[in-house]
Amino acid sequence: MHSTAPLSVVIPALDPGPPFGECLDSLEEGRARGLVAEVIVVDGGSRDGSPSLALRRGARLVEAPRGRGPQLAAGAAASVGAWLLFLHADTRLAPGWACCAAAFMTAPENRDRAGYFRFRLDDSAPAARRLESMVAARCRWLGLPYGDQGLLLSRALYEAVGGFRRLPLMEDVDFVRRLGRRRLVPLAAVATTSARRYRRSGYARRMLRNGCCLGLFFLGVPPRLIAKLYA
């Protein structure tokens, strides 16, 4: 039986690199407030030392098959909190996030809703600002926040919609579609994600690739095949 501890943070990781430390640092605000009961890092076979870093920072380490879907599902199953926050390992939460999350969690109507943070990239390039605007529009008009915006919801709601499916890709889109846009609430705090993939691939190319992956998913192409394009 799960306890009534406030919040379990679940972070899937696979060689996340330097941004992982910043992710963990940003969660200290929640620990200091007594909001965060535990941080669970679900490792899919990292070789960059991130599992050791997670343990040094006081996180619980869980091993799971590679893939965000399987890792998120395993983390949720191992957690104890009445509330869950799913967060990517290369995403850090801005100061003030814990107060924002606590307010969301204490509002009775939010027992049946999920909150997500405002998307930002750690890049000063104009292309980053354009992408942020596109993400805001996607969330506003399509109700499709991605996993790099974090997702905060009660365990009861998580279980009611069936949890994360063990998909190698598009697990976040699949999950929020089952939640439905009327149950998704934008939070005032910011989640800043590393832009290294965009800088490496080029913004235009990465955005086009992401759009193609989303379109293929909506057309019913199996995520295991889409993953080959995304890599």
* Tens-digit pLDDT profile for residues 160-190: 999 999 998 999 999 999 999 999 999 999 9
Tell me: pLDDT of 4 over 80.
no
Query: Is 149 inside any structural domain?
Result: yes
Model pLDDT, residue 229: 74
What mean pLDDT comes out for the span 83-90? 98
Tell me: pLDDT of 114 over 50.
yes
Model pLDDT, residue 1: 39
- Residue 74 sits in a domain whose CATH number is 3.90.550.10
What mean pLDDT comes out for the span 39-67? 97
User: What is the distance in angstroms between the CA of the first residue and the CA of the last residue of the chain?
Assistant: 38
pLDDT classification of 5: cutoffs 50, 70, 90:
low
Model pLDDT, residue 154: 98
Query: Is 195 inside any structural domain?
Result: yes
Model pLDDT, residue 158: 98
Model pLDDT, residue 6: 92
Model pLDDT, residue 231: 59
Query: Is 1 inside any structural domain?
Result: no
Q: How many domains does the chain have?
A: 1
Percentage of the chain modeled with pLDDT above 70: 97
Query: Is 125 inside any structural domain?
Result: yes
Angle between helices 171-179 and 68-78 (to 10 degrees): 60
Model pLDDT, residue 175: 98
Q: Is 108 exposed, middle or buried (0-12, 13-18, 19+ CB in 10 A)?
A: exposed
Domain region containing 31: 7-230
Query: Is 148 inside any structural domain?
Result: yes
Which residues, at least 6 apart from 28, have a Cβ–Cβ distance to it below 8 Å?
A: none
Picking from 114, 112, 95, 109, the residue whose alpha carbon sits closest to that of residue 33 is 95
Query: Is 2 inside any structural domain?
Result: no
Q: Is residue 173 within 8 Å of residue 226, measured between CB atoms?
A: no
What mean pLDDT comes out for the span 54-75? 97
Query: Is 199 inside any structural domain?
Result: yes
pLDDT classification of 227: cutoffs 50, 70, 90:
confident
